Amino acid sequence: MKVLERPHHLQARVSIAAAGSGRPVQVTPETLSSLVRPGELVYVPGASGAPLSFVSSLLAHREHQQDLRMLTSYVPGINTLDMQSIDQSAIVTGLFMHAGLQAAQLAGQYRCLPLSYAGFVRHVLDTVDTDLAVVQLAAPDAHGNCSLGPAVEFMPSILRKTRRVLGLINHQTPRIPGAVSIPYASLDYACEVDSPLPTYNTDSNAVTEAIARHIARLVPDGSALQIGLGKVPMALSRLLCDRRMLRLHSGMLSDGLLDLARAGALDPDFPHTTCALVGSTELYRDIADFDQLRILGCETTHNPRVMLELDNFVSVNSGLEVDLFGQCNLEHAKGQAISGAGGAPDFARAARLSAGGRSVVALNATHHAGKGSRIVPCLDANAITTISRIDVDHVVTEYGVANLAGASVHERAQAIISVGAPAFREELSRSWSVIAARL
């Protein structure tokens, strides 16, 4: 298997003499928003790299929001952007939706891009030129390089396409040796801040544990694995602690990473890779001691060429709804947009095509309290197909595993019905008979 080199520092493109001389202009937290000029496009990263000090300053000074254009990778459930505090002349563009953005989207103030993470990388490199990129960093090391810490995401691509760079030197951002770093001297502006990083935690329940147990059977020793965030990934991480030589390649990782490392489940020679860590304060504190970790940009982590080099690659994504064709909706609940594609389509296709790989989509068989089936005859007009039926090998619920690999259209439908909630299987079978008669 091809192993990528350990990351070195990234030389950001800069535009003013101060940065070139190694002396970025020093600004204070109170004056951060004054760096934004009317009509400019500003990039604000998300996940654990969200620059809270900058955003707080911007929201507190509406006069600096005039005709603002903000591009962001804020993630629902981790990052919150109060659109009511943003001037009506401003427009925010992001990759995810949730209920709090619905009014702003209807008003044209929020633009949701229907792109996967790999697609957004291409979008940035082909069509985006930002005026100001805001990046949160650890303090410079002995060589003058600043680690991006637990979140790199799209920043390497953005830094190649920006006119000015604001670096927030955050005392709470850990210096992670395997993360991308940039020279302090490459910054146009620098500001020292002391902001807590966004944290993420989730609980578990009997249904989640049952789903995780079924998935664990699909992950043998030596697998490459993408698991992301959520209840199922957290439970799955605990169940996989008895595995050996696992290789992690994921869009996001959380505290389960350390559980696997401490249990000896991970390949000690593999560069375990993600674009962001989001978890507890303990994770951010302890992760610097994990030498095998790399935190790289999405141009690497979500690159299909990179992922296709991973043999036995198992991708696990959580769904909201799956139909009897195997089409997976990860974004809409009862017609309302509540998320985005993220990296799920990128990982699902790569795992489906990699040597010995498998693409897994997991979901509860029913909606909350058993009211309605999440396995449906066919996705309706109010749903979105986030992962195509051709990119799914297994659908997993608490009732078992539907193996779709090599199955015909009718065999796939029967397999998916078999993992639906028992109370809905007869109804699903009747619906499939009607659908099958016209195929």
Q: Which CATH superfamily is domain 17-193 in?
A: Glutaconate Coenzyme A-transferase (3.40.1080.10)
In which band, very low, low, confident or very high, does the pLDDT at 368 lie, cut at 50, 70 and 90? confident
Hunting for tokens 């990128």 — which residue is that? Answer: 346
Helices 231-239 and 206-216: angle between axes, nearest 10 degrees: 50
Report the distance separating Cα 387 and Cα 352, nearest Å: 11
Report the distance separating Cα 194 and Cα 320, nearest Å: 37
Q: Is the pLDDT of residue 262 over 90?
A: yes
State the chain's mean pLDDT as an integer: 93
**Where is average pLDDT lowest: 13-17, 121-125, 246-250, 350-354?**
13-17
**Where is average pLDDT lowest: 1-15, 162-176, 263-277, 297-311?**
1-15
Both structure tokens of 435 = 């659908």
Q: What percent of the chain is predicted at pLDDT more than 70?
A: 95
Q: Given this chain, do its domains 17-193 and 206-437 carry the same CATH topology?
A: yes
Q: Is the pLDDT of residue 9 over 80?
A: no
Report the distance separating Cα 391 and Cα 250, nearest Å: 17
Q: Is the pLDDT of residue 3 over 90?
A: no
> CA 397, 400, 404, 405 torsion: positive or negative?
positive
Q: Domain limits of the chain?
A: 17-193, 206-437
Q: What pLDDT sits at residue 116?
A: 97
> For the segment 177-208, what is each residue's pLDDT rounded down to a tens digit?
999 999 999 999 999 999 999 999 888 899 99
145-156 CB burial, b ≥16 within 10 A, e <16: bbbbbbbbbbbb
Q: Is the pLDDT of residue 20 over 80?
A: no
In which band, very low, low, confident or very high, does the pLDDT at 7 lie, cut at 50, 70 and 90? very low
**Where is average pLDDT lowest: 21-30, 233-242, 252-261, 353-362?**
21-30
Domain 206-437 falls in which CATH fold? Glutaconate Coenzyme A-transferase (3.40.1080)
